[in-house]
């Protein structure tokens, strides 16, 4: 069976492939940076929030599979972080349930 020319993969020279790869990496880094800034994020972020950002656990990186470039990293919670965050959430829930429903609706 012959594959029609329109859907056959094109063969590119090594120079063109290198140029595309460099452009893609630069373009991806620029796009990633703009996207993270628009979301109020940096390339490295703390991943636990309980009134303030923290994190003392492992760091998880997001990697572009096409280039191997690290797009961003987040510091996860440790066991102590989790316990503290759950204590804060429990305390907040107790205070919140005392607020009358119409008042909660205004917020």
pLDDT > 50? residue 5: no
Nearest to 33 by CA among 70, 73, 71: 71
In the three-class reduction of DSSP (H, G, I as helix; E, B as strand; rest coil), residue 62 is classed as strand
Give yes or no for a contact between 49 and 88, defined as CB atoms under 8 angstroms apart.
no
User: Cα(11)–Cα(9) distance, rounded to whole angstroms?
Assistant: 7
Q: Using one digit for the tens of pLDDT, what is the confidence trace for 25-83?
A: 556 667 778 888 888 888 899 999 888 899 999 999 999 898 888 889 999 999 999 99
pLDDT of the residue at 35: 83
Give the helix ranges, DSSP H, for the chain: 14-38, 79-96, 101-106
Q: Is the pTM of the predicted complex or chain greater than 0.75?
A: no
> Who contacts 88 (Cβ-Cβ below 8 Å, separation ≥6)?
50, 51
């Amino acid at each position: 069976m012959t594959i029609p020319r329109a859907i056959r993969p094109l063969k590119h020279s090594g120079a063109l492939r290198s140029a595309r790869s460099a452009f893609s990496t630069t373009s991806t880094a620029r796009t990633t940076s703009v996207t993270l800034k628009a979301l109020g994020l940096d390339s490295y972020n703390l991943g636990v929030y309980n009134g303030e950002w923290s994190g003392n656990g492992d760091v998880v990186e997001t990697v572009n599979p096409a280039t191997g470039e690290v797009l961003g990293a987040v510091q996860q919670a440790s066991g102590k972080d989790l316990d503290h965050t759950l204590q804060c959430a429990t305390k907040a829930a107790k205070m919140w349930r005392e607020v009358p429903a119409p008042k909660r609706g205004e917020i």
